[in-house]
Structure 1
Amino acid sequence: MTTPSLRRPLKVLLATPRGFCAGVDRAIQIVERAIAKYGAPVYVRHEIVHNRHVVERLRALGAVFVEELDQCPADRPVVFSAHGVPKRVPAEARAREMLYLDATCPLVSKVHVEAQRHHEAGREIVLIGHAGHPEVVGTLGQLPQGAVALIETVADVADFQPRDPANVAFITQTTLSVDDTAGIIAALRARFPAIATPYKEDICYATTNRQEAVKTVGAKCDVLLVLGSANSSNSVRLAEVGHRAGAASYLIEDATALDLAWLEGARVVGVTAGASAPEVLVNGLLDRLARTFDLTIQEAEAEPETVIFKLPRALAV
């Protein structure tokens, strides 16, 4: 005879896909393999990805995180973060004869190539993104100062005054809200009908897939818990998307940040993780919930992500 549980039942819907994308996985592998090949310390310019747990684990392995190259000795390897860097950074590394490894996500590099192509064609470029984000700083730094105008909102579109309205192009940060960006793009197209667009969507597949999964889960749950760091753009966007889908949404660093008061009265809780958040955080959150509730866990069905990005030749096995 089984004893009935006295814990309140709670259904958990796990969003799929969630967690690491191919670009994040590649960047982390680059740091790990650099430490294995060259020994510690290996320097990393900026957080390799925006997640405290990832950074702390790599630091324990021998990574040293810095903000600029002048904090790195010239005789140790340095890795550039997944967000990309301005052109001046690798130029400085070459001038100092440093060994550097570029962990820029290939989908961010694609945006850099687009910006260069538009600039060479003589177009004025609009970058849709968030001021100060490392990816935006890196993209702006691909071209001479003033060559790219940053647009953050639909209102910014009206303020943008190009020299030639018939010769404008736009590119975007890869981790934006798909819905918010669509509104800005629509405003740009309405004002500049001839605007040149990306050959292929700039918002990356992983960002799009995770937002679509959250829309599905968010519409079915009372509360959505998003695992990710507050400085992670894609994680912040997931919480926003969940809120719009109808769920009370909270971005938390890990299970220790969970406030059980948020779940009062909730029958269904959605759980997802940003593209820079490891799956171990999801497991930790489920363990935390299981200590209080009688859990039923359901994984959302989705097409598996099969994208894999190659490592730099210097680190390939």
Structure 2
Amino acid sequence: MIDDSVDVLVIGSGLCGLTIAVTAARRGLRVHCLDDGRPGASLANFGQLHSGAVYAPVLPSLSAACWDHRDRWHDLAVPARVGQADGLALFHSADTVQRYLDSWNRIGIPVEEVDPRSVRSSPSPAAAFRIPDYSIDLLALSAGLVDLARTSGVPAVQRHAAILRRDPESTLVSIAPPVPRARVVVLAAGASTPALLSDAGIQHTLRTRRIAWGRQPGIAVEGVTYWLDGDLLALSPDQSGIRAGLPSVQGEYGTATEERARLLDALDRHRLSQSRPELSMIWGTVCEPTSLLADPSSLVVDLRRPPEGWTPSGNLLVALPGKWTTAWHCADQVVDALT
């Protein structure tokens, strides 16, 4: 019999876990949050507050969710902002522009066309637009979210390495003491989610993959800059230089040596690699569904009514936002399922 000492036990205190805890507490639920103390995958993220402009033609639902829920980060994001309050979407060729303009108009993302000659870039873009994206210091954002959780009535996060156990007869999931039992467990552990589920004997349809980006000191960009065609290079101001990233190749990244060489080639093309030896590669891990039918903006799996490919559990939900910008959207879906 489950002890209702708390309504919701959230496993994970990253950006997703804490937004769920805050949302649940604000709706009157008794919340307990635990974490193993390791930095979450979100903190190794590239770190932009997305408007959705970048994804609009290819992932319209993700783009719309980024735009619809972006302002909910405002009070936390502004003090953590790095660089200008807007960014640039650049195009090597004008042929790609109309597809993005149509998508931005459909979603309602405000963009402003700017004179390409005013953009300090080499080569000069064929077209340029100002978009409402900016770079974030994710450590500062996370610290602000911790403070928000406290003032919203969420108790201090308990440091405890959760090991899930699923009872095959009742199908209920439990975590070994000293964690309090709860009516519902919400697994919001980011990249650790598949391993925690598999160790508990719970079948799922998630995978993890590594992602890479680079940090280059001694170079400056004023704001977030995306080339939306050609090499698709993304640049972001950092505290002492820039962050630079390229999309994966067929969904995967190569070795550290291969990715560093690929990124240096892109920076060379844009004349941004003055300090080659100082380019350091940063590796992160993302968790994502394998199903092409999954909503890329937010994945909430209620194992009380499991979809195909998932083992049922009478008290477990799994939560993964598509991007950290959509974490509040994910939190709404989780708490809606609980109330």
Task: Output the TM-score relative to the length of structure 2.
Answer: 0.29
The structure with more helix, counted as a fraction of residues: 1
Task: Output the TM-score relative to the length of structure 1.
Answer: 0.30
